Amino acid sequence: MTGIRYLTDEDGRKIAVQIDLRQHAELWEEFEDVLVSESRRAEVSIPLDRVKAKLSTVGSKRA
């Protein structure tokens, strides 16, 4: 595959990758999205109805 290079260790094992973003920007964006998603997996989620209620309360105080 063009635009992708692997860095290998002394034993020939792949340890890093270099991606040409001019050719594979979309691929990198998808990969980055997965990394962000995985890093946030342990975060506590807030139910949407609670977020909406808080936003409407904050909005009414500003008006």
pLDDT of 58: 75
pLDDT for 8-46, tens place per residue? 999 999 999 999 999 999 999 999 999 999 999 999 999
Burial of 18 (0-12, 13-18, 19+ CB in 10 A): exposed
pTM for this entry? 0.52
Residue of 25, 31, 34 lying closest to 3 (CA atoms) = 25
Q: What residue segments make up the domains of the chain, in order of their start?
A: 4-62
Task: Judge whether residue 62 has pLDDT over 70.
Answer: no
pLDDT of 63 higher than 60: no
